[in-house]
Amino acid sequence: MTEYIKHHLHHWQVQMPGTEGQFWLINLDSVLIKLLAALLFVWYFIRVARRATSGVPGKVQCAIEMLVGFVDGMVRETFHGRSKIIAPLSLTIFVLVFMMNFMDMLPVDLLPWAWAGAHQMTGHDPAHAYLRVVPTADINTTFGMSITVFLLIQYVGLKHKGVVGFFKEFFTAPFGPWFAPFNLLLRVIEELVRPLSLSLRLFGNMYAGELIFILIAVLTLGASLTHFSTYLLGMGQFIAGFAWTAFHILIITLQAFIFMVLSIVYLSMAAEHH
């Protein structure tokens, strides 16, 4: 059981050329699945946009128009500056995070089993075929996205306030120039907390969800088909899996929404003059 859980929580990793140590390992499964999700998002939205009609829209076009309108309305209500990138950025964040989260809806053994079979067909040991399919359950993915948002926050602040105004606020807000050291300390803490709150919230929720699915799968691990308790455990496993899947759909959507909204709020705060 312990080996089964460890195997599922182990990434497909590669070492960067010319480097040594754990720091320079790349979680290749997270990178590839994230890239596939991004390519699927771009391809599908471009396809729908090219087939869009001004007449009665189809179901897919209607759903995407509702999503775009919802995100655009959220940006208009929250972001009070002027920028052409905020709405497309927010839509990209929501859809991409949701797609990566949605990988947790797949049966926990499906893709790892297929990957182990492919590993064995190529003459490798399937016991060392590692694959984690939820990129947002990887702290490197969520922290990478939060750092990108953090850099955009600094860019928006510099663009709307200028270099002098941007750095002046570090020493004058919120308590005025007489408390410059205290203002600077608060600002540094505030800036550091933003990427941490974005990354750890998403990672914690998705890691916990993935782990619960694994623990549900463990209920019938190695069970005998001839024993009556196996069927009782199987029934409990089905009920628990169904209930957690239904609840987890809400979680993955909510986490994508929270990541998007907090990104908009932080960008709006960077654009406002204090």
How does DSSP assign 192-256, residue by residue?
A: HHHHHHHHHHHHHHHHHHHHHHHHHHHTTTT--TTSHHHHHHHHHHHHHHHHHHHHHHHHHHHHH
Residue 170 has a pLDDT of 86
Question: In the predicted model, is pLDDT for residue 192 greater than 70?
Answer: yes
Average pLDDT of the segment spanning 43-49 = 91
Question: In the predicted model, is pLDDT for residue 274 greater than 90?
Answer: no
Euclidean distance between CA atoms 271 and 90, whole angstroms:
16
Question: Which of 197, 224, 229, 263 is labelled catalytic?
Answer: 197
- Residues linked to residue 13 through DSSP beta bridges, in sequence order: 27
Total tally of structural domains belonging to the chain: 1
Question: Which of 30, 183, 205, 263 is labelled catalytic?
Answer: 205
Torsion of CA 174, 175, 178, 182, to 10 degrees: -70
Task: Judge whether 132 counts as a catalytic residue.
Answer: no
Question: Which of 83, 140, 187, 201 is labelled catalytic?
Answer: 201
Q: To which H or E segment does residue 26 belong?
A: strand 25-27
Q: What is the pTM of this model?
A: 0.90
Q: How far is CA 188 from CA 15, 204, 234, 272, in A?
A: 34, 24, 52, 18
Euclidean distance between CA atoms 191 and 151, whole angstroms:
10
Euclidean distance between CA atoms 156 and 38, whole angstroms:
24
Average pLDDT of the segment spanning 140-153 = 93
Higher pLDDT, 165 or 1: 165
Task: Judge whether 197 counts as a catalytic residue.
Answer: yes
Task: Judge whether 194 counts as a catalytic residue.
Answer: no
Residue 14: closest CA among 2, 22, 3, 6: 22
Residue 222 has a pLDDT of 66
Token output for 241: 């899996």
Average pLDDT of the segment spanning 19-29 = 81
**Residue span of the structural domain in which 177 resides:** 2-271
